[in-house]
Structure 1
Amino acid sequence: MEKLELRNVKLQWLNGGVNHLDGGAMFGVVPKALWSRKYAVNDKNQIELRADPILIQAEGKNFLVESGMGNGKLNEKQKRNFGVLEESRLDSELEKLGLKPGDIDYLLMTHMHFDHACGLTKVSGGELVSVFPNAKIVTSQVEWDEMRNPNIRSKSTYWKENWHGIEQQVETFEKEWSFGPIKMIHTGGHSDGHSILIIEDEELTVVHMADIMPTHAHQNPLWVLAYDDYPMDSIFSKQKWLEFGINRDAWFTFYHDAVYRAVKFGQDGKITESIARKK
């Protein structure tokens, strides 16, 4: 479990599963000759994307950023189409830390696409129940509304199986939500309700841009996903928060990156420090 320890905040990455998506879709209009220099691609033109939640411990609370791929939620066709070679090991990962799903106080959902939200529910006794029964599940109001009433484009990624059974736990916000050193900010872009996380612990800063910068290879503001519903919003937000983070020598953290858990970028855009994912 890779860690990033600040002054009063500790982050640890947990194994939430992995999928493989088309590299062209993940880099949009960027030619393969360019993006493939920065991120490995297999013979099916797929890139590896982790779905690894980040456990944040601060203010005596346990926060989990995203919920992973879950277990037993995907049928064989979905596993094949999404390149899911590994489902979540979240229970055993928490157990190693002396924790149980019931010990999670907050689920911070930057958005609720299936690869972020499948781990929220499970089937028990023939019904969908919450995996994290004591947690408040925090997401933007826009995201929560679309999750339950997806449009023609988004219905393929917002599944009722991922929100039935957790309705009473959901806490929404309009522009910002905060608890201690952690702040969620609604940006839109990847989805209409997409949010990012900022952690400010004394003089140390962490920026988690979720799927508007899903990997270190998406650093260029113009390199946006074909999956983004509002790409210009992604571009503007990435520009803004990259500048914010670089000026503060911040760590940029990732949920999907198969190479790095976190990096720092210099003013020239080059990586100056990094925490690599152990394979």
Structure 2
Amino acid sequence: MNLYSIINGYFRLDGGAMFGVVPKTIWSKIAPADENNLIRLAMRSLLIEDEGRLILIDTGIGDKQDQKLMRHYYLHGDDSTDKSLAAQGFSRNDVTDVYLTHLHLDHAGGAVKIIEGKYVPAFPNAKYWTNQAQWDWAMNPNAREKSSFLKENLLPLEEHSVLHFLDMDNPSQLPKSISTRISSGHTQSMMIPTLPYKHKTVVFVADLIPTAAHIPVPYVPAYDVNPLQTMTEKATFLSEAFENEYVLFFGHDADIECCTLRMTEKGIGVKETFPISAL
């Protein structure tokens, strides 16, 4: 097995929204904001090469949304999915599976492209994986998440017959090295992939813990549909991760790709930080 970090781009969101009830006087010390109160975030995917398959975890926001919408996200930088794949010796055509942790536009927007005026799968040879509960949730969105579940990111996958639902009782759908845990505080049935790698356990923590700054249990984004559930899920996961020395891989931290954990007088916190390539 080989693991690669893929940067789909960078964006900015309101720091207050990203840290919920935590006061700015506290969160700004670990996540500095600009003059508009915005903090810099990554859209980072994990690429897994295993059992003859190339599996991309999440896709970033993509480039097909209208400019009015894109302006809200302050996309910046020269990094892209294609450049990151090429740097590792791959192209979109090589990807066999796209595993979408959840269907919010900053994770699933890059799943679909516009070619000759038509919406088509952005990875032409790939199966796309979500789960039935998250799909149903996205197809009938609540008022808070409606702007994050965009039909043009999702329905073309169904229309092109590349959409598949992960069955937790059927591990043969993906390489046996990949297991999935479900978290529903951020959104219904978000999938969190876990895999053994070089005698470690690597966990793509998705939006359960968007950045290393979000490790403290109360640091929950205002975007979460059920923040109290997020806190419970996060506390359970962090205890397990600390006890078993997991490596956390962050999808949104602009500076920290991976970390291990340690116990401090204030609770579980960051021990060491490093790129996945350092393992």
- Normalising by structure 1, we get a TM-score of 0.90
Report deviation, 1:87.
7.3
User: Structure 2 CA distance, aligned partners of 1:86 and 1:51?
Assistant: 12
1:24 counterpart = 2:16: yes
Partner of 2:163: 170
* Kept in 2: contact 1:188–1:233 (CA 8 A): yes
Q: Counterpart of 2:27 in structure 1: which amino acid?
A: W
Listed as ranges, the matches of 1:198-277 within 5 Å are: 198-201=194-197, 203-268=199-264, 269-275=268-274
* Kept in 2: contact 1:65–1:108 (CA 8 A): yes
User: What secondary structure, in the 3-state scheme, does the structure 2 residue paired with 1:17 have?
Assistant: strand
Partner of 1:67: 59
Partner of 1:150: 141
* Kept in 2: contact 1:68–1:88 (CA 8 A): no
* Kept in 1: contact 2:8–2:84 (CA 8 A): no
Q: Counterpart of 1:169 in structure 2: which amino acid?
A: V
User: Structure 1 CA distance, aligned partners of 2:19 and 2:78?
Assistant: 24
Q: CA, structure 1 residues 239+176, in 2 after alignment: closer, same or farther (shift >3 Å)?
A: farther
1:3-26 Cα deviation digits (max 9, x unpaired) = xxxxxx322212201110000000
Partner of 2:122: 131
Q: Counterpart of 1:256 in structure 2: which amino acid?
A: H
1:6-56 Cα deviation digits (max 9, x unpaired) = xxx322212201110000000000001111111121111011111121111
Report deviation, 1:250.
1.2
* Kept in 1: contact 2:183–2:208 (CA 8 A): no
1:120-161 Cα deviation digits (max 9, x unpaired) = 011112210001122121112111112222222221110011
* Kept in 2: contact 1:18–1:69 (CA 8 A): no
Partner of 2:73: 82
Report deviation, 1:175.
4.9
User: Structure 2 CA distance, aligned partners of 1:184 and 1:247?
Assistant: 19
Report deviation, 1:224.
0.6
**RMSD (Å), alpha carbons:** 2.0
User: What secondary structure, in the 3-state scheme, does the structure 1 residue paired with 2:233 have?
Assistant: helix
Partner of 2:102: 111
Match of 1:38 among 8, 30, 37: 30
Q: CA, structure 1 residues 57+184, in 2 after alignment: closer, same or farther (shift >3 Å)?
A: same
- Normalising by structure 2, we get a TM-score of 0.90
User: Structure 1 CA distance, aligned partners of 2:4 and 2:48?
Assistant: 7
1:79-131 Cα deviation digits (max 9, x unpaired) = 22122224762123222333221211111111110111110011112210001
* Kept in 1: contact 2:205–2:251 (CA 8 A): no
Extract unaligned runs of 5+ from structure 2.
none
Report deviation, 1:248.
1.3
Q: Bigger shift: 140-149 or 47-56?
A: 140-149
Partner of 1:6: none
User: What secondary structure, in the 3-state scheme, does the structure 1 residue paired with 2:11 have?
Assistant: strand
Q: Counterpart of 1:172 in structure 2: which amino acid?
A: F
* Kept in 1: contact 2:47–2:55 (CA 8 A): yes
Identity over aligned pairs, percent = 32
Report deviation, 1:206.
1.1
Partner of 2:185: 189
Q: Counterpart of 2:94 in structure 1: which amino acid?
A: D
* Kept in 1: contact 2:203–2:246 (CA 8 A): yes
1:49 counterpart = 2:49: no
Q: Counterpart of 1:77 in structure 2: which amino acid?
A: K
User: What secondary structure, in the 3-state scheme, does the structure 2 residue paired with 1:133 have?
Assistant: coil
User: Structure 1 CA distance, aligned partners of 2:78 and 2:101?
Assistant: 20
